[in-house]
């Protein structure tokens, strides 16, 4: 059987890639994709931990399901906000959103 640590390392790597995407990418859609990777990393953690550490309960599974639902809602709202700013500025580059500063 694959040891638990492999799943955790995989999830940590996925989380780091997502975080790097959030911090380094300038395109808002790419930033949202990075956030999705981070949420997926959390889900892998949840399911791996559930299977290996507490398989008798359902908390891990229930948590993962709720994360799906929240992620879907967050992306729906996120894309809507990105579209609303795209209509006014014809751009989704985060660096160009600089009306509000200091």
Partner 1 sequence: MTIESFEPTMLLAILPEILLLVLIGFVLALDAVWKPEQRRALGWLTAGGLALIMVLALAVSRPSEDPRLVWGGMLRHDWFGFAFKMLFLFGAAITALFAMDAEELGKRGEFYVLMLVSTLGMNLMASASDLIMLYLAIETTSIPLYVLSGFMRHDDHSTEAGFKYMLFGAAASAVMLYGLTLLYGFAGDTSFYSLGLAMHNAELPLLPIVGSLVLILVGFAFKISAVPLHFWAPDVYEGAPTPVAGFLSTASKAAGFAVLLRVLLSIFTPVALPSWTGLLAVVAVMTMTLGNALALFQKNIKRLLAYSSIAHAGYILIGIVAISRLAVTGVVFYLIAYLITNLAAFGIVATFWRVVGSDQIADYAGMSRRKPWLAMAMLVAFLSLAGMPPLAGFVAKVFVFAAAVQADYIWLAVVGVLNSIVGLYYYLTVLKVVYLYRSEETEGLPLPISRPSAIALTVLTLGILLVGTLFGPWFSLAEQVAKAVLRNY
Q: Which residues pair with 93 in a beta bridge?
A: 27
Cα distance between residue 80 and residue 4, in whole Å: 38
Tell me: does residue 84 bind partner 1 (CB under 8 A).
Answer: yes
Count Cβ neighbours within 10 Å for each residue of 8-39 and write b for 16 or more, e otherwise.
beebeebbeebeebbeebeebeebbebbbbbb
Tell me: does residue 27 bind partner 1 (CB under 8 A).
Answer: no
Tell me: does residue 80 bind partner 1 (CB under 8 A).
Answer: yes
Binding site for partner 1 (CB under 8 A): 8, 15, 18-19, 22, 28, 31-32, 34-35, 38-39, 41-42, 45-46, 48-49, 53-54, 59-60, 62-63, 66-67, 70, 73-74, 77-78, 80-82, 84-85, 87-89, 94, 97, 99-102
């Amino acid at each position: 059987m694959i040891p638990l640590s492999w799943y955790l390392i995989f999830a940590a790597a996925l989380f780091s890639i997502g975080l790097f995407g959030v911090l380094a990418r300038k395109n808002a859609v790419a930033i949202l994709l990075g956030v999705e990777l981070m949420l997926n990393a959390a889900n892998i953690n949840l399911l791996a931990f559930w299977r290996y550490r507490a398989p008798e309960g359902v908390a891990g599974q229930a948590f993962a399901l709720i994360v799906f639902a929240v992620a879907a809602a967050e992306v729906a709202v996120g894309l809507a906000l990105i579209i609303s700013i795209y209509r006014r500025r014809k751009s989704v580059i985060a660096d160009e959103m600089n009306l509000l500063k200091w």
